Structure formats: structure tokens, C-alpha cells
Chain A
Amino acid sequence: MKKRDLLTPLDFSKEELDELFDRADDIRQHPEKYAHACEGKKMATCFFEPSTRTRLSHETAMLNLGGKVMGFPSGSVSSATKGETVADTARVISCFADIMVIRHPKEGAAAVAAHYASIPVINAGDGGHQHPTQTLTDLLTIRSLRGSLDNFTIGLCGDLKFGRTVHSLINALVRYENVRFVFISPEELKVPDYITDMLNDKGIPYEECIRLEDVIPKLDILYMTRVQKERFFNEEDYVRLKDFYVLNKAKLKRAKPDMYILHPLPRVNEIAADVDDDPRAAYFKQVQYGVYVREALILKLLNIDVDKL
């Protein structure tokens, strides 16, 4: 059987994603059933740039499955400092581990690793390009909270121009029925043309606006992202606009009682601390769902069928 990798969120069909999410649900409900599923298997986490949360989430997933983990947390402690190529690293890691997780500052590095590795490769972020396990996490979170990935309105708020998690999530959600998009951002950080072109081509409805308050009552999911000061051309614009993209209890009063708030984290100040206790705040649950979906992903890529063990 040809090995599978996860390089982009679209590497799996909708049906495969449904299976993956069903498995993640089962893992959430029956963790003991999976506690030894990866016994004897090793996962290498190769992080050429640091990302504590993503690395620990993958490692937790493997440990929960009874497997072992090894790796390096930053490029400065790997052979990359000696000039080793990603291709060679992938070949070498294939001799040590059963599955490889890679984060790299350069776009496309995971695709190179997957090409040269003989073991499955998970892309844990390649520069500003793709971060598919975050998208899987987002999809599982929405599905678990709402019961379905069809028929809802999602507001994406903040930096929609440079935010790769936003682009990946949109690309993944267009495969589902009747998902409506509301893009909330300053003019400087609007969603790129290639995304709106794609939505227009597919006839998928969307609207763009500047103020969160104007649209929050119609949203079923609010996906917050950080607006970084350095993205603005001048300080004046930043000061004028930054509060539009801060969610607080006052703004939340106008939202539906069953609207859920997601955030890929880390959060800085775009969600006020007084929102954390609101039952609609789902961003920490999202982290937990990230572990379940990574467990399901590891099982899928290693072709481990727990029901046959």
C-alpha cells in the first residue's frame, strides 16, 4: 500500500475526513480503547522552528496511543546547522521512526520531506504556507460543537490576508453544504483575491465588512485571529482600527446564545479575558480536540485499525 502523508488540508477527501472525525470522536469517548494502539511505534517530531503547542499536541497524541516520541525542538539543535538538506534529514529519520512530524520555516519543506521519506509525514506548518493539522482541529471542533459541518455562517475576524489558518479553513469548508462566510477585517488585511475568486467561481456566498459589531448577531461560529501592529502601514490606522478586532463581553451581548468562538491561539489581546468564562468560548476546547484529531490522524497514516487489534 502506498504511504500517505498530510501536507495540506485537502489531501483527504470529505469522506476520509468524516471517517477521521468519527475516529476522533470515538477516541474522545473511549480513550482506554486506544491506549496501546501504537505500542512499539516511534514518532519523530522534527521542528526546524520552535512551536511548543503544536509539537506538544502531536507528542501528547502519540503518547496517548501508547507510542514513543523523539525529535528536536528547533533548527538550531539539528543537523540543519551543518547544512543538511531536508531531503537527507527525511531519509535519515525514516531509518529511526515510523512516522515523522515536520515544522519548517520554508514553504514546501514538508512536501520535500514527504517525497524523500519512506515513512508517513505530517506537515506541522511550513512557513506561511500550510498548517493542515490546525485545519483538521478547527473542523473537528466545529463538527463536535454544532453536530455538523453543513449549514452555518462563519465569521472570520482579524488578519485575513496573512493568516494561513484562515485560508486553509476556508478552502476546507467550501467542500461542505451551505456554509456562508463573513470576512471581518481592516481594508489592509482583507482576504486575498484568490480566495474571493475561488468563492465567486463556486457561487459560494460571502460578505466583507470592517466592524465586528455590525455582523456578530448573524454568526454561528466566530473565528478570531490576531491583528498584528506590524501589518499596518502606519500607527494611526492601527490605533484607529485595532479595537474593532477585540472581542469582549460587551460585543458578545449581541451574539447568538449558541455562537461558538474559536481561535487558533496564541491569543494576545484580541479576546478579552472576560470572555473566557462565557460558555460560547471554545478556544481551549479546540486545543483538546486538536489532540484527538492528531491521534486519529496518526492511526490513519500508520494504517492501524484498532477494531482489529
Chain B
Amino acid sequence: MLNVGKIEEGYVLDHIQAGRAMLIYHHLGLDKVDWTVAIIKNARSNAMGRKDILKVECPVDSLNLDVLAFIDPNITVNVIRGGEIMEKKKVELPKELVNVIRCTNPRCITSVETSLPHIFYLADPNRRIYRCKYCDEKYQEISDR
């Protein structure tokens, strides 16, 4: 059994679908900061079989967690203060994603004007569909294409 120490202040992102922790690591920009981060892959889970966990030691409210629900709607966010879980919350789909995903429509203005931010809006919360703000093209993960 692998033991990872407690954190005093920060977040524990639990119930991440196994294999997606690194994706979240990059989307949250954790590769660009010097906080202590533990990435636990393929941990045993009664409910999920296998899951990933991310522990981030950082000032609370310093992470933009909007993107989490987009990547994996089942993630649980544990907010840690003084070494204790102060809040446990489920994530919600953000209304807008800015520079998180890129529009791949070759007819979109973003394909030629590369300085434009890539903005997607939540078009259908039930079907979890995001569309490009410029061309309305539906975002599809590479694995869905």
C-alpha cells in the first residue's frame, strides 16, 4: 500500500477516472507552479475499481477548477485547511471554457488567426456538448471522432 502524506492546505481531487490525472495536471497548469503535487494513478476504489487522485498543496482558491467537470464530471473536490477536509464538493460544468480546448474546424476563423482565444460555450448541459463560440462546431474528443 502506497502512503502519501497529509497536506495542510490545498485540494484533494478524488474519484478521477483512472488514467486522467495527468490530463487534469496539465489543464490546471500544475506543471507551471512549484507547489507540492502528488499524482496517484490506478488507486484501488470500491466504487470505481481503479481511480486516480491528485493532491495539491496550495493556497485554497488559487486554482481555477472550472475545467474539472468538463474533463470528468464525477470528480470530488476536497478542500483542505489545517490538515482537515473543510468542504467536499461535486464539480459543475462551466458555462464557458477559455483556452482549454481548441477548435479543429479548418473553416473556423481561429484556424487562420492564431492569436484569438479558443472559447467554447456549454450548448447542451444534458448531453455535455460544448460548441466553439466563433463557428459553433461541436467539440469532440479525439477518441470520439
Contact = CB atoms under 8 A, between A and B. Distances in A.
Interface of A: 85-87, 104-109, 111-112, 126-129, 194
Closest 7 A/B residue pairs (Cβ): A108-B134, A107-B135, A106-B109, A108-B109, A108-B135, A109-B109, A107-B107
Given A111-B133, A111-B134, A112-B134, A106 B116 contact: no
Given A107-B134, A107-B135, A129-B136, A112 B113 contact: yes
Interface in B111-137: 111-113, 115-116, 132-137
Given A106-B108, A108-B108, A129 B135 contact: yes
A108 B112 contact: no
Residue among A85, A104, A108, A129 facing the most chain B CB atoms (10 A cut-off)? A108
Contact of A87 (B105, B112, B113, B135): B113
A112 B115 CA distance: 12
B32 to A, nearest CB: 27
A107 B133 CA distance: 10
Interface residues of B, number: 17
Residue among A87, A106, A109, A111 facing the most chain B CB atoms (10 A cut-off)? A106
At the interface, is chain B mostly helix, strand, loop or mixed?
A: loop
A307 B135 CA distance: 38
A109 B116 CA distance: 11
Contact of A85 (B107, B108, B113, B135): B113
B107 A86 contact: no
Interface in B3-18: none
Contacts of B136: 107, 129
Contacts of A87: 113, 116
A85 B115 contact: yes
A85 B134 CA distance: 15
B108 A107 contact: yes
B104 to A, nearest CB: 12
Nearest to A111: B134
Contact of B111 (A106, A111, A126, A194): A106
A108 B133 CA distance: 8
B113 A86 contact: yes
Given A107-B107, A129-B135, A112 B112 contact: no
Contact of A107 (B105, B115, B116): B105
A106 B107 contact: yes
Contacts of B109: 86, 104, 106-109, 111-112, 126
Contacts of A86: 109, 113
A128 B105 CA distance: 12
Nearest to B110: A108
A267 to B, nearest CB: 25
A194 B132 CA distance: 15
A126 B116 CA distance: 16
A87 B115 CA distance: 10
A111 B109 CA distance: 10
A86 B115 CA distance: 11
B125 to A, nearest CB: 13
A112 B108 contact: no
A196 to B, nearest CB: 15
Nearest to B111: A106
Contacts of A126: 109
A100 to B, nearest CB: 16
A49 to B, nearest CB: 12
Given A86-B113, A106-B112, A127 B107 contact: yes
Contacts of B116: 87, 112
Contacts of A109: 109, 134
Nearest to B113: A85
A185 B25 CA distance: 48
A104 B112 CA distance: 12
Contacts of A194: 138
A109 B113 CA distance: 10
B114 to A, nearest CB: 10
B118 to A, nearest CB: 11
